[in-house]
Amino acid sequence: MTTLVAIAVAVVFLLLSGLHVYWAAGGPWGKTVSVPQRGAEPLFRPSRRATLAVAILLAAAAALVAARLGTSPGSPLDTLFLWAERGLSAIFALRAVGDFHWAGFFKRVRGTPFAKLDTWAYSPLCLLLSLACFYLALH
The mean pLDDT of the chain is: 94
Rounded to two decimals, what is the model's pTM? 0.93
Q: Cβ distance 101 to 43 under 8 Å?
A: no
Residue range 118-123: mean pLDDT, rounded: 97
Reported confidence tier of residue 78, pLDDT bands at 50, 70, 90: confident
Reported confidence tier of residue 25, pLDDT bands at 50, 70, 90: very high
Reported confidence tier of residue 74, pLDDT bands at 50, 70, 90: confident
